[in-house]
Structure 1
Amino acid sequence: MIKQLSWKVGGQQGEGIESTGEVFSIALNRLGYYLYGYRHFSSRIKGGHTNNKIRVSTSQIRTISDDLDILVAFDQETIDVNSSELRAGGIVLADSRFSPVLSNAEGVTLFSIPFTEIASDLGTSLMKNMVAIGATSAILNLKPEDFFEVVNETYGRKGQKVVEMNMDAIEKGASYLIQELRYCRSDLFLERADRKKRMFMIGNDAIALGALAGGARFMAAYPITPASEIMEYLIKKLPSFGGAVIQTEDEIAACTMAIGANYAGTRTFTASAGPGLSLMMEAIGLSGITETPLVVVDTQRGGPSTGLPTKQEQSDLMAMIYGTHGEIPKIVMAPSTVQEAFYDTVEAFNLAEEYQCPVIILSDLQLSLGKQSVEPLDYKKIQIRRGALADDASIPDREGKEYFKRYEVTDSGISPRVLPGMKKGIHHVTGVEHEETGKPSEVASNRKNQMDKRLRKMDGLLFPEPIHKSVKHTEADLLLIGFNSTRGVIEEVMERLEEHGVKVNHAHIRLIHPFPAAELRSLTESAGKIAVVENNATGQLANIIKMNIGCSDKIQSILKYDGNPFLPNEVFTKCKELI
């Protein structure tokens, strides 16, 4: 019996690779296993190699594995591309229709199974993916029936006959491996899971659900990989809550429309990726100077320009902090798990209204599209805080002689905010510099007062857990630092290093800007060496740390920017070299 394994299915885009992984992983999630799935796909609708790697475990996991136990191949390219990941003792289940060839994979067993032929005999070759799931179930000592509930939900809309055909395909795949190929190994039998109910979702779904729970009732967006799922989720869900999604003509329109709706009092946001955020920068500056709440989601991908739309990267960090011209208060937050993506999105709307500034939720492709098991969310934790939002009774009566001081200079930097139509709340709103009532002003003293007021907001920023810390030692040989999706791989590497006698602490930065220097300094000062793990070429997070707390002599970067997420062994090897 084993406690975890890694399974991958590969083939050409458009031949059911994603649905194969979905049925397999959802069924195992319902059996109580923890899962982590990561898809490799091309930036095209159909064709091109794609694969879905799914890690299954009896305990929590948040990253893909170094190696592979089972590879399901629907074409020779899958074997050629992915067989190097197979460990000794691994298995390839390949469709015999292409006469599979396995080379340079010592200790790996190839089973040639007529997936397509078996499926065609049952009615359609499209069911070859269910035949492959059946063969997999036999290897893992699972029952074909374990997948039937998911099959019924997935194909039920096509009629009972189609459901029964797919169930037959799973059973045929299992029986072929056992009866025709005489498979009898038990070293890949999975330990039974706890059968507890957990959600199974991608980070984008958690962000969308967090926006809904946080009171957002309008989203303006333009589709872009890897952010589109947020919009697609809310297109289905928001109307049931009296809300709406509008697909705009471009990202500029999306951001300005979100600003307008927030000004009107509706919690609104937009979501995009790096190219879209570049277009939004002027509008984000408008949010800053008009002190209009705004939430923007940036799901990082390979850049620059179109770059690698479907690949992992974390290179928008500097742009999100410094991308706007001029100087405005801004909050940049970076959730590191699917759970955090949900709760942080709720908090983003609160912070945007409390501090009357743009809030950017920074994600990355691995976090946004990686699918994982999630413990039930606690909706009792959710609070809606609207900040200094005035009502009719709280607005002073100026007998109609003066405009409302919407941009009143206050000690906190936060001015009272009113919504359009409020009695006694009339004021001017403009993107040029203005005085307290909003009227344009170029007076030097006013400019300084308004700039100081806006920037002063961040002095009082309260952010729950700006750094996720795992501190095992008062003095560590090595401090590992990361942000967003690298948390899972760092946590795994920590365990390995500790087993090798290395004292390791971990700090995962969740508030990128304003940077939590004081919270991090205690860990950096007590560490012998510091390794910053990030998916970019220039060490952007490492440079931000150096700017804010120094430690240049201690900091080393572990970088990866080839479009793929870190594997645990890559980070482990680099850490061993450092110490």
Structure 2
Amino acid sequence: MIEQLSWKVGGQQGEGIDSTGEIFAIALNRMGYYLYGYRHFSSRIKGGHTNNKIRVSTKEVRAVSDDLDMLIAFDQETIDVNGHELHSDGIIIADAKFKPVKPEDCKATLVIVPFTAIATELGTSLMKNMVAIGATSAALGIDTETYKAVVDEIFGRKGDKVVNSNMEAIQRGAEAFQEATGANPQTLSLKKADGKNRMFMIGNDAIALGAIAGGARLMAAYPITPASEIMEYLIKKLPDFGGTVIQTEDEIAAATMAIGSNYAGVRTLTASAGPGLSLMMESIGLSGITETPLVIVDTQRGGPSTGLPTKQEQSDLLAMIYGTHGEIPKIVIAPSTVEEAFYDAIEAFNLAEEYQCPVILLSDLQLSLGKQTVEPLDYEKIQIRRGKLSVQDIAEREDKSYFKRFEVTEDGVSTRVIPGTKNGIFHVTGVEHDETGKPSEVPQNRKDQMEKRLRKVSGLSFNTPVYKNEKHKEPDVLLVGFNSTRGSIEEVIPRLEGDGYKVNHAQIRLVHPFPTDELKSMLDAAKKVVIVEHNATGQLASLVKMNAGYADKIESLLKYDGNPFLPGDIHQQCKELLTHGNI
């Protein structure tokens, strides 16, 4: 019996690879297993190799596994590309249609099952993915009836005949595996799960759900990988809450529309990836100077330009902080788990309205599209804070002057009103202005308004700006990351401690304003600091050095080939860095 299983299905894009993994994963999630799934896919609609790797465990997991126990292959390329991940006790279950051949250096067992032939006998070759699920079930000792509820949900609207055909395909797949393996089948039996109900979702779904819970009622956006799922989720759900989604002509329109609706008092968001954020930069500056709340989600992907649209990277970090021209207050937060993505989406709207500035929720492709088990969310934690928003009529001034929307205040935040508020009229432009919004180039006014805006975030309050795992007072190494690297880093810690090193961990969740005070004591205590990030230039390391110092201690562990960090990657490279550093 094993406590966790690494399972992968692969084939050509467009032939049901995603649905195979989805049905398998949903069924096991409902049995109470913890799951983590990551899809490798091409930036095209159909064709090109794709795979979906799913980790199943009796304990919580937040990272892609190093190796592979079972590979479901719909073509030879799947075996050729992924076979090296299989260990000697692993299993390849391959479709007989393409006459599968196992590479010479692959020690795993090859089991050939006629996925396509069985599906065709049942009426359509499209059901070959269900046959594959049946074969998987037999290899794991899972009753095929486990899938009945999932199949009913997915195909029930098409009628009983379709449901029954799919269930028969699953049963036939299980029988075919048993027939192919004979009296002594190669199996991988999972320990029984706890049977508890948990959510199973991608980070983008958590962000979208958080936006609804946080009071957002409008999304203006243009589709782009890997942010589109936020838009798709809200298209289905926002109307139930009196909201809507508008697909704009481009990202410039999306950002300015979001600014306009926030100005009108409606909590609004937009979401994009690197190329879209480049187009939004001028609008982000407009939000800053007009002190209008704006929430933007940036789901980082491989760049520059079109780059690697469907691959992992974390190279937007400095652009999100410093990309706008001029100087404005800005908040950038970076959740590191799906649960944090939900709560941080809510908090983004609160911060945007409290500090009246743009707030960027920074994600990455692995966090946005990686699907994982999530413990039930605590809706009692939800707070809606609208800051200095006045919903009352404004007292008329004796001199009949305009409302001081941009009044210079000690905390840098002025009272905000919704258009139409009695006696609340003021100017709004993208040029420098006085307290009523009237354009002004008076030097002292410029100085006052700049300092007013910039001091807003000096006293920023954000829950858990740095996630800390401080087991040791004087660690040999401090591992630092942001966004999705948390899962792999957490798995590496016990491995490094098994090698004799004392290890602490910091995951930075508020990247701007930088949480220098919260991080400094951890940096000071460590003999060596290893910063783990998905880019070629060490952007997070640069931020740490710029804000906290300790450049002599810092080493960068970088990956920028489009693939996520495996725990083994970090373990091996950390050992090399620590060995060379004489620790």
Calculate the TM-score normalised by the size of structure 2: 0.98
Instruction: Tell me the CA shift for residue 106 of structure 1.
Output: 3.6
How far is the alpha carbon of 1:399 from its aligned partner? 3.8
**Quick one: distance in 2 between partners of 1:404 and 1:104?**
78
Question: What residue number does 2:103 align with?
Answer: 103
1:102-501 paired onto structure 2 within 5 Å: 102-182=102-182, 184-185=184-185, 188-393=188-393, 395-399=394-398, 401-501=400-500
Aligned-partner residue type, residue 576 of structure 1: K
Higher alpha-carbon deviation: 493-502 or 12-21: 493-502
Q: Distance in 1 between matches of 2:515 and 2:531?
A: 16
More deviation, 415-424/106-115: 106-115
**Counterpart for residue 49 of structure 2:** 49
Equivalents in 1 of 2:359, 2:104: separation in Å? 50
- Cα deviation digits, residues 380-419 of structure 1 (max 9, x gap): 10000000011325x3330461111000001100011111
Q: Deviations over 1:300-330 (max 9, x none)?
A: 0000000000000000000000000000000
Shift of 1:135: 0.8
Q: What code does the residue aligned with 1:199 have?
A: M
Q: Aligned AA for 2:62?
A: R
Deviation at 1:104, TM superposition (A): 3.0
Deviation of the 1:81 alpha carbon: 0.5
Task: After TM superposition, give the deviation of residue 36 of structure 1 in Å.
Answer: 0.3
Q: Which secondary structure state, in structure 1, belongs to the residue aligned with residue 220 of structure 2?
A: strand
Taking the TM superposition and a 5 Å limit, the aligned residue runs for 1:488-567 are 488-567=487-566
Which segments of 5 or more consecutive residues in structure 1 lack a partner in the other structure? none
Off by >4 Å, runs of 4+ in structure 1: none
Report the equivalent of 1:12.
12
Change (3 A) 1:563 1:454: same
- Unaligned runs of 5+ residues in structure 2 are 579-583
Amino acid at match of 2:304: P
Counterpart CA distance in 2 for 1:399 and 1:138 is: 83
Contact 1:217 1:238 in 2 (8 A): yes
Measured after TM superposition, the shift of residue 470 of structure 1 is 0.7
Q: Distance in 2 between matches of 1:569 and 1:488?
A: 12
Distance in 2 of aligned mates of 1:346 and 1:185: 50
CA contact (8 A) 1:389 1:416 kept: yes
CA distance in 1, matches of 2:119, 2:187: 28
Taking the aligned partners of 2:110 and 2:39, their CA distance within structure 1 comes to 23
> Aligned residues: percent identity?
72
Q: Give the C-alpha shift of residue 30 in structure 1.
A: 0.2
Range with greater deviation from structure 2 (114-123 or 524-533): 114-123
Q: How many residues were matched structurally?
A: 578
Amino acid at match of 1:559: L
Q: Shift in Å at residue 186 of structure 1?
A: 6.8
Displacement of 1:148: 1.3
How many Å apart are 1:184 and its aligned residue? Answer: 3.3
Instruction: Assess, with a 3 A threshold, how the Cα gap between structure 1 residues 142 and 400 changes in structure 2: closer, same or farther.
Output: farther
Q: Distance in 1 between matches of 2:137 and 2:404?
A: 68
What secondary structure sits across from 2:476 in the alignment?
Answer: strand
Q: Distance in 2 between matches of 1:403 and 1:216?
A: 30
Report the residue type matching 1:363 in the other structure.
S
> Does structure 2 retain, via aligned residues, the 8 Å contact 1:302–1:563?
yes
SS across alignment from 2:413: coil
1:177–1:183 Cα contact (<8 Å) kept: no
Give the structure-1-normalised TM-score: 0.99
Q: Match of 1:92, as an amino acid?
A: I
Who is 2:581 aligned against? none
C-alpha deviations, 1:224-279, integer Å up to 9, x for none? 00000000000011111110100000000000000000000000010000000000
